[in-house]
Amino acid sequence: MHYFLESNVEFMSQEMKDHLCDLADNHVEKLEVQHRPWKEISYAGEHDQRETHTKTEELVGIRTAREFKRRKILLARHFGYKAEGMKEMQLHAYHIPNDIAQELKRNAAKIFDIEEDTIDPILQIQTEGNILYPHCGHSRESSMFCLLAGDCAKTQWYEETEPFHMYENWRVPDASKIKEVEETQFRIGPWYTFNHQQWHSVKRPDKAVKRININLNFTALPYADLEKKLFDMNGVVEQS
């Protein structure tokens, strides 16, 4: 099983991709925000203000909040401190307009022979900052990923060197117990499989460039099954 694969399948026209990219870049007020409760806790917190730590305690309890604080300090130690110029990217998720979302769901359901109601298309915009700290996915088994803008970023995947507890809603890793095993730089245009169940991060050099992508999230299609379906239909681009 891979962390990602480039595919040769297509779910929408280039005109529609350009339209979504324009919405995300210039008319974000027309998009509906997707509520994601796990974003209430920042991963970058080696110098949390007292009120931030108090809010975390209210959300998860004192004992767990202390463990999160320890893990966030480890993330800063391994990936860079704020004082050294590391700033957490702001990731915003939006629902794709219904007419486009329905077309995407119909096409993906037909290609993969799955139910439309198990497909959740979203539009993501990453702004500011230069790092998304290691995390793993919520509420999805797998997805197809298509980058629309901002190809200067690189994505890394990690394996655990020893087990540690993962909190279901707040997936802050223990950075002392993971190691980087793969890195890639996605190209604009193709659809890629994306293994969200594996710890992964994003780093980029340019804080001013928006990174915009579409995710077709599958709530009932495990990543291994997604790969198999693509291989069975000769839908994988041969790696050079």
**Domains in the chain, CATH or no CATH each:** 4-37+87-232 (2.60.120.620)
pLDDT of 71 above 70: yes
Q: pTM of the full predicted structure? A: 0.90
pLDDT of residue 96: 97
Pairwise CA distance, residues 98 & 102, whole Å: 6
Each residue of 213-222: pLDDT tens digit? 999 999 999 9
Distance, C-alpha 128 to centroid of its chain: 16
For residues 25-37, give the mean pLDDT.
Answer: 87
Give the residue with greater pLDDT, 113 vs 51.
113
Q: Which residues contact 68 (CB under 8 A, 6 or more apart)?
A: 41, 45, 56, 60, 170, 172
Give the residue with greater pLDDT, 11 vs 81.
11
Each residue of 147-165: pLDDT tens digit? 999 999 999 999 999 999 9
Pairwise CA distance, residues 212 & 126, whole Å: 6
Pairwise CA distance, residues 148 & 48, whole Å: 34
pLDDT of residue 74: 92
pLDDT range class, residue 38, cuts 50, 70, 90: low
pLDDT range class, residue 201, cuts 50, 70, 90: very high
Q: Which residue, among 233, 154, 141, has the nearest Cα to 195 in the 3D structure? A: 141
